[in-house]
């Protein structure tokens, strides 16, 4: 079964790991958000691609939630000793090797797709991992800054997320470069040729939202012959993982499973999804979702262990099959 | 007393540390060889500058002889896991942070002099540390290679030194770029304004030799009003540190203290030095050196401990004073 997943980083990676465990999921393509990417210390860092590679390749630290297992932090400490900013980014020594390889290949002229394929030759993630785009896109977040004449300032998403821990009000989210970005090779075909397209339970704004911000990806999702189903990243009153609520507030979307479904919108009404999985505790929202033209289903949506995650993935595939 | 030292890496750094311990050595400028420099993994690495910084800044591993103390090697291992070549270079995690900072500044347009000053703001080496040149110079070594049509191949000095451990015959030494290199800012003045110019007991070919390969440095050494004295890196039948014998053989110079002195040559006869310190066990060579127009002196030249090294440095200053 050809499954194409749109995914952010950590949460999406765990979901795909569960999906990969299903017998029927023998041909998975993952389209990864790259709008989190950042150049730091002269190195090109792709947090979501790396989370996917490490998690699917067995090299991630699942307790910490991001980065490499058995990591050390000497380079980071030394950079701080040199007084080099920023000091807030979580740059592990093992992780850094990935950035060094990627940067060297990028500076030698290879595309991000080519670099990703080269890195995956080591990690063997068991899926085809594609960046959403080979073009540079960087999400910036607008925050208040009284020292600026405008009273506001745009900072890189990583600074908002990692340094500020999304704890200050986001006035807006700007994916810089997205209007000029094209889908990376293979992305459009992966969507059009899939038996089912799945939105992982990733951030609807800065992960799935930016993937859909690439015009030809959005067009492919709208035109895909296969059903498109999503899993809500909001369970009960907040996000399962990460700080999606802050990002939803920035774009004026309520922090509920139904509101996120409505934000994506029904494909039959010009939106992006046909079906939507919510957690069982959000069963009261099913009618609201259905009235938006989206077929909902309530199942346990907490990725508490690999088995639970695999059951979630199976439910997504079943919803897709029912909609076909 | 204004002392200007021409120095290579590890051995030179130890010598300067001993020199710095002398009360009279209150104004030291070190002109470092940069022809060992290499770009690896997209990073600009300056082994001799780093050895000087780390040793004089208290961050070196004196037991291993190079690199940072309490070093870890995760990045190197990870690069190898990615199959990235070369795998032979000793790239420690802490050390790597220096290369990251240097590379970022270099790519931002700063000169090596400016980068070195910035790095030294952390290390506080207690001397003014200058690269010999801001221009790129890279020593290549010609070795036999039957697979080449010419039967020979030029490899980077680091590959010859680190990977091959100087254990294959060097047919020649080529400091690529040296003819177009100018002395870095401050270098010529440091030589001309010194009270004494000292050649550290560094490699006469690939360390001191390449510094003197920069035309305006050579001219300054020849024209310096102060005496120029050197310390032999050859003690008895071989080099004290490193593998200078292989390099001397490549340029047809005998591996003796006197032969190295003659190779540098007397300033009074168009060469580079006025005085030459040899080890006490090489006392029989004093007449030979004197007949070359160079004032010799025999003292213990083994840097067995900081006190012994300081006595060597004091002997060099005394020889300079006697020649003034």
Residue A204: other Cβ atoms inside 10 A: 26
Q: Which chain A residue shows the shortest CA-CA distance from B81?
A: A122
Percent of chain A with pLDDT strictly greater than 70:
99
Q: Which chain B residue shows the shortest CA-CA distance from A120?
A: B82
Residues from chain A that touch B101, judged by Cβ atoms under 8 A, are: 41, 79, 82, 84
Q: What is the pLDDT of residue A239?
A: 74
> Quick check: A240 and A304 in contact, CB under 8 A?
no
d(CA A98, CA A70): 15
Q: What is the pLDDT of residue B78?
A: 97
Q: Which chain A residue shows the shortest CA-CA distance from B106?
A: A42
Nearest in space to B43 (alpha carbons), one of A304, A41, A70: A41
CB-based contact A104 B42, cutoff 8 Å: yes
What are A244's two structure tokens?
Answer: 């999606």
Convert the pLDDT of each residue in A155-185 to its tens digit.
999 999 999 999 999 999 999 999 999 999 9
Across residues A114-134, what is the average pLDDT? 98
Using DSSP, state whether A240 is helix, strand or coil.
coil
What are B138's two structure tokens?
Answer: 């890279």
At B7, which helix (H) or strand (E)? strand B2-7
Residues from chain A that touch B103, judged by Cβ atoms under 8 A, are: 42
| DSSP summary character for residue A3 | E
In this predicted structure, the answer to whether residue B180 has a pLDDT above a threshold of 80 is: yes
Mean pLDDT, rounded, of chain B: 96
Suggest the residue from B38, B50, B86, B97 to mutate for an interface test with chain A (most A CBs closer than 10 A): B97
Convert the pLDDT of each residue in A30-81 to its tens digit.
999 999 999 999 999 999 999 999 999 999 998 888 999 999 999 999 999 9
Convert the pLDDT of each residue in B301-318 to its tens digit.
999 999 999 999 999 999
Using DSSP, state whether A196 is helix, strand or coil.
strand
CB-based contact A78 B94, cutoff 8 Å: yes
| DSSP summary character for residue B53 | H
Across residues B127-132, what is the average pLDDT? 98
| DSSP summary character for residue B81 | H
CB-based contact B96 A82, cutoff 8 Å: no
Residue A104, phi then psi, degrees to nearest 5: -60, -45
B138: left (phi over 0), alpha (psi -120 to 50) or beta: beta
Sign of the dihedral through C-alpha B100, B39, B202, B63: positive
For residue A120, the distance in angstroms to the closest alpha carbon of chain B comes to 9
Q: Which residues contact A173 (CB under 8 A, 6 or more apart)?
A: A139, A140, A141, A142, A157, A205, A206, A209, A247, A250, A251
d(CA B71, CA B15): 23
Mean pLDDT, rounded, of chain A: 96
B128 bridge partner residues: B29
> Quick check: B11 and B51 in contact, CB under 8 A?
no
Nearest in space to A192 (alpha carbons), one of A29, A303, A76, A64: A29
For residue A70, the distance in angstroms to the closest alpha carbon of chain B comes to 10
Nearest in space to B4 (alpha carbons), one of B136, B111, B178, B132: B132
In this predicted structure, the answer to whether residue A240 has a pLDDT above a threshold of 90 is: no
Confidence class of residue A238 from pLDDT cuts 50, 70 and 90? confident
Residue B121, phi then psi, degrees to nearest 5: -60, -30
Strand order in the sheet with A170-176: A152-156, A138-144, A170-176
d(CA B8, CA A202): 54
Q: What is the pLDDT of residue A243?
A: 74
Q: Which residues contact B250 (CB under 8 A, 6 or more apart)?
A: B141, B142, B170, B171, B172, B173, B205
Q: What is the pLDDT of residue B240?
A: 72
Q: Which chain A residue shows the shortest CA-CA distance from B122?
A: A82
Q: What is the pLDDT of residue B155?
A: 96
d(CA B11, CA B15): 6
B114 bridge partner residues: none
Nearest in space to B16 (alpha carbons), one of B303, B321, B313: B313
Q: Which residues of A touch B (CB under 8 A)?
A: 41-43, 71-72, 74-75, 77-79, 81-84, 93-94, 96-98, 100-101, 103-104, 107, 119, 121-122
Residues from chain B that touch A84, judged by Cβ atoms under 8 A, are: 101, 104
Using DSSP, state whether A2 is helix, strand or coil.
strand
In this predicted structure, the answer to whether residue A259 has a pLDDT above a threshold of 80 is: yes
> Quick check: A184 and A27 in contact, CB under 8 A?
no
For residue A97, the distance in angstroms to the closest alpha carbon of chain B comes to 5
What are B265's two structure tokens?
Answer: 């040559």
ipTM attached to this prediction: 0.92
How far does CA A64 lie from the centroid of its chain? 18
Using DSSP, state whether A149 is helix, strand or coil.
coil
In this predicted structure, the answer to whether residue A274 has a pLDDT above a threshold of 80 is: yes
Nearest to A84 among B81, B83, B101 (CB): B101
d(CA B175, CA B218): 15
CB-based contact A42 B100, cutoff 8 Å: yes
Alpha carbon distances (Å) from A200 to A19, A56, A261, A306: 10, 15, 13, 15
Nearest in space to A13 (alpha carbons), one of A82, A84, A61: A61
Helical spans, DSSP H, in B124-186:
157-158
Confidence class of residue A19 from pLDDT cuts 50, 70 and 90? very high
What are A13's two structure tokens?
Answer: 């990676």
> Quick check: B179 and B210 in contact, CB under 8 A?
no
Give A75-78's long-range contacts (Cβ < 8 A, gap of 24+). A75/B75, A75/B93, A75/B94, A75/B96, A75/B97, A75/B100, A77/B94, A77/B97, A78/B93, A78/B94, A78/B96, A78/B97, A78/B98
What are A100's two structure tokens?
Answer: 């060094």
Q: Which residues contact A50 (CB under 8 A, 6 or more apart)?
A: A9, A95, A98
Q: What is the pTM of this model?
A: 0.94
Convert the pLDDT of each residue in B243-287 to its tens digit.
778 889 889 999 999 999 999 999 999 999 999 999 999 999 999
In this predicted structure, the answer to whether residue B239 has a pLDDT above a threshold of 90 is: no
Alpha carbon distances (Å) from B235 to A33, B258, B279, B303: 62, 10, 6, 11
Residues from chain A that touch B98, judged by Cβ atoms under 8 A, are: 78, 82
Percent of chain B with pLDDT strictly greater than 90:
93
Q: What is the pLDDT of residue B108?
A: 96
Q: What angle do CA B119, B124, B128 make, to 5 degrees?
A: 85
d(CA B1, CA A99): 47
Residues from chain B that touch A74, judged by Cβ atoms under 8 A, are: 71-72, 74, 93-94, 97
Q: What is the pLDDT of residue B237?
A: 81
Alpha carbon distances (Å) from B239 to B13, B106, B135, B184, B301: 16, 34, 29, 29, 11
Confidence class of residue B110 from pLDDT cuts 50, 70 and 90? very high
d(CA B135, CA B157): 17
> Quick check: B226 and B319 in contact, CB under 8 A?
no
Nearest in space to A306 (alpha carbons), one of A55, A14, A61, A23: A14
Convert the pLDDT of each residue in B195-224 to its tens digit.
999 999 999 999 999 999 999 999 999 999
**Over the Cα atoms of chain A, what is R_g?**
19
Nearest in space to A214 (alpha carbons), one of A193, A239, A191: A191
d(CA B66, CA B36): 14
Beta strand spans in B59-184 (E): 128-131, 138-144, 152-156, 170-176
For residue A102, the distance in angstroms to the closest alpha carbon of chain B comes to 10
Complete DSSP assignment for B33-47? --TT-EEETTEEE-H
Q: What is the pLDDT of residue A246?
A: 83
Using DSSP, state whether A175 is helix, strand or coil.
strand
CB-based contact A42 B107, cutoff 8 Å: yes
């Amino acid at each position: 079964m050809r499954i194409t997943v749109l995914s952010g980083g950590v949460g999406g990676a765990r979901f795909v790991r569960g999906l990969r465990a299903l017998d029927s999921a023998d041909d998975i393509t993952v389209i990864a958000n790259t709008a989190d990417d950042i150049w730091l210390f002269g190195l090109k860092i792709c947090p979501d691609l790396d989370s996917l590679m490490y998690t699917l390749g067995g090299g991630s630290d699942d307790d910490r939630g991001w980065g490499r297992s058995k990591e050390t932090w000497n380079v980071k400490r030394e950079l701080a000793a040199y007084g080099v900013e920023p000091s807030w980014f979580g740059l592990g020594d093992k992780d850094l090797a990935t950035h060094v390889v990627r940067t060297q290949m990028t500076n030698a002229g290879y595309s991000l797709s080519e670099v990703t394929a080269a890195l995956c030759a080591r990690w063997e993630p068991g899926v085809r991992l594609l960046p959403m785009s080979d073009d540079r896109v960087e999400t910036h977040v607008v925050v208040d800054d009284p020292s600026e004449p405008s009273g506001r300032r745009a900072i890189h998403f990583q600074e908002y997320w990692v340094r500020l821990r999304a704890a200050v009000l986001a006035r807006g989210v700007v994916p810089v470069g997205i209007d000029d970005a094209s889908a990376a090779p293979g992305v459009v075909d992966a969507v059009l040729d899939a038996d089912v397209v799945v939105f992982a339970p990733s951030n609807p704004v800065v992960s799935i939202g930016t993937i859909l911000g690439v015009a030809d990806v959005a067009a492919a999702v709208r035109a895909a012959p296969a059903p498109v189903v999503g899993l809500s990243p909001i369970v009960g009153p907040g996000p399962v993982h990460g700080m999606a609520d802050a990002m939803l507030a920035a774009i004026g979307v309520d922090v509920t499973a139904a509101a996120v479904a409505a934000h994506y919108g029904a494909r039959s009404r010009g939106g992006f999804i046909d079906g939507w999985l919510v957690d069982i505790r959000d069963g009261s929202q099913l009618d609201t979702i259905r009235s938006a033209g989206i077929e909902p289903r309530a199942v346990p949506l907490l990725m508490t262990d690999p088995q639970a995650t695999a059951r979630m993935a199976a439910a997504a595939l079943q919803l897709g099959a029912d909609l076909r």
